[in-house]
Structure 1
Amino acid sequence: MIEAVIFDFGGVLTTSPFEAFARFEQERGYPVDIIRNTNAANHLENAWAKFERAEIDLDTFDNLFAEESLALGGAAVRGREVLPLLAGDLRPEMVEALKRIKARFKTGCITNNLPANAIGSQAGRTLYVAEVMTLFDHVIESAKIGLRKPDPRIYRMMVEALGVDAKACVYLDDLGVNLKPARELGMATIKVVSAAQAVGELEAATGLVLR
């Protein structure tokens, strides 16, 4: 029996930044997928991981990301230029599904995010729309606790906070690397490719009508 549904935020409740990455690369003449590949390489200890755990400041992230992208993809992409690309649009279908789930189950959000003071008033922070975030019983933000997905500890922290067994949870994320630890804990997982697909799989997992 499902007792809780746990969501990633960016790329799940909002549109994926990958489209913005692709446009940016094309406009600047950068190699295709250089941003995604730089994010994925050494994903536990790269510049992105350290920034999401609030271990480095913006200037250090800017320089490290450029160094990593140059070494990996042959072009120095400044970290500062990547941050504005993170802003996505809320997916109304997903927000509606979250509201209906909230009425029946416990809800949580585990998000790898950036230190608030690192990006100031940039669009990335406006994703955390207050009325959406209040739909969660518990929220875990990587930059606030110094842990980020896919560290298994962050998932255990969530189930403990919600007071549920991992086997009674559904977890949604747009990245397979973040789904694996949840699955290993016993959660049912949904890889979000589109809102329609995700809502359909959520309906099957929860037995609820979500649209």
Structure 2
Amino acid sequence: MSRYTTVIFDFGGVITASPFEAFNRLEEERGLPRDFVRRVNAVNPDDNAWARFERAEIDAAAFDALFAEEARALGHELEGEAVLAVIAGAVRPDMVATLDTLKERGFTIACITNNVPGGKMGIQGAGMTRSAKAAIEVADIMARFVHVIESSKAGVRKPDPRIYLMMCEKLGVEPAECIYLDDLGINCKPAAALGMHAIKVTSGEQALADLSAALEMRLP
């Protein structure tokens, strides 16, 4: 019998492929340095345009302008709207199948995602694209979770420890009962500090291998 009762997933970079791949393609198209978008978002990470957007403190128009200012301060031109247009990653079918397997075996599954208002997921998330088909696909996946916490609705974003504790309180579980998966180490650290078993996701295959080992069962 597993010591864990609950598996909490990030969305972008875990259920879907990493949005950073899309950012790199955008950078290449625009002639920008590789990982420039990540560099912009690393400056003043708790109060920059992206952080404020993910907490729903500003709207898309303000994000577009503020992100452009931040990019310009680092020596390049890039509007926020262009970044938002490419953030959705492709869904990983094996991860979706894993959600179903975990539910069938009695585990509680939930999701914590940093996102932005209006259904567009943020740099630590990924979600609805502008196509109706993709939006339906994401909604179908989200419906599998017992509970979802979105930063833009909660007013708090990862890696703030409060967002993980909010989930535990909602589910009625202790952190030690939980496994948490995220593609960013900075988001895994507070989960681990609280007592969760944190898995940093670098690929779908690696995530499933590590999750299978932690639960002592084969997935999906």
TM-score range, shorter chain: over 0.9
Aligned residue identity for 1:43? P
CA pair 174-123 structure 1, distance change in 2 beyond 3 A: farther
2:87 aligns with 86
Q: Aligned residue for 2:125?
A: none
Deviation of the 1:122 alpha carbon: 2.3
Residues 159 and 166, structure 1, Cα contact 8 Å, conserved in 2: yes
Equivalent position of 2:111 in the other structure: 109
Contact 1:90/1:127 (<8 A) preserved: no
Aligned position for 1:200: 209
1:71 aligns with 2:77: no
1:175-194 alignment runs, 5 A limit: 175-194=184-203
Cα deviation digits, residues 2-57 of structure 1 (max 9, x gap): 01000000110001111111111111111221101112222111100000110001
In the aligned structure 1, how far is the partner of 2:120 from the partner of 2:9? Answer: 24
Q: Secondary structure at the match of 1:86?
A: coil
Question: Which segment is superposed worse, 162-171 or 101-110?
Answer: 101-110
Q: Note the C-alpha offset of 1:130.
A: 2.4
Partner of 1:22: 24
1:155 corresponds to which residue? 164
Q: Any stretches of 5+ residues in structure 2 without a counterpart?
A: 122-127
Give the distance between the partners of 1:163 and 1:118, measured in 2 at CA: 29
Unaligned stretches of 5+ residues in structure 1? none
- Tell me which residue corresponds to 1:97: 98
Identity of aligned residues (%): 54
Structure 1 residues 94-143: Cα deviation after superposition (integer angstroms, max 9, x where no partner): 11111111222111100011101779972597286222112111100111
From 35, 38, 48, the counterpart of 2:37: 35
Partner Cα separation in structure 1 for residue 103 and residue 66 of structure 2 = 40
Q: Which residue of 1 aligns with 2:56?
A: 54
Task: Report the residue type matching 1:177 in the other structure.
Answer: I
Change (3 A) 1:101 1:149: same
121 and 19 in structure 1: CA distance in 2 versus 1, 3 angstrom threshold: closer
Q: Displaced runs of 4+ in structure 1, greater than 3 A?
A: 117-121
**Which residue pairs with 1:122 in the alignment?**
130
Q: Does 1:142 align with 2:144?
A: no
Distance 1:205 1:127, change over 3 A: farther
Counterpart AA for 1:181: P
CA distance in 2, matches of 1:201, 1:53: 31
Number of aligned positions between the proteins: 210
SS at the partner of 1:85?
coil
Measure, in 1, the Cα distance between the counterparts of 2:46 and 2:136: 24
**8 Å Cα contact 1:87/1:127 also seen in 2:** no
Deviation at 1:63, TM superposition (A): 1.1
Q: RMSD of the alignment, in Å?
A: 1.9
Amino acid in the other structure paired with 2:103 = K
